[in-house]
Structure formats: C-alpha cells, structure tokens
Amino acid sequence: MGKEVERKFLVTNTAWRELAEANIRILQFYLAAGPGRTVRIRISDGTSAKLTLKFGSKARERDEFEYPIPLSEAVEMLD
C-alpha cells in the first residue's frame, strides 16, 4: 500500500519543455467514484494497464493500491 499525496502546481511559462525527455500517452477512466473512494483504470502508451484503488477522506493524502492488469481487460472495461 502506498500513500498518494496530492500536489498542485501552477505552471507560469513553457520553460519546462526544454527539460522534457520523453512523453507517455495516458488514457484513464473511473469505474467508480464516491466520497472517499475511487476505482480507476489507466492505460499507458497503449501497451500496459493498471487498476488503482484509492481510499481516504483527507484533503491531500489517501491510501492507494495499484495493480497491473491485462491490457485486453482494461480495453474491455473501457468499451
């Protein structure tokens, strides 16, 4: 189990682009979301998928469980 700590930053210019080395295309969707709980599927670069469970009601910190799942199953849940 990990802890998710929510951080938000305001980007004021595009200087960060010079430091970027690679990119990853992410497709994500939520299977369920409610007070203090979310279930998310994330597909990265169309090659791998993860199921993420998040629990907790604190504003900035929640328990997070993440598991790899077969890409074919993630795509099936998307449809």
Active-site residue list: 30
CA 29 to chain centre: 9
Q: At residue 78, what is the residue type? A: L
Token digits of residue 26: 């992410």
Show the tokens assigned to 61: 């910190």
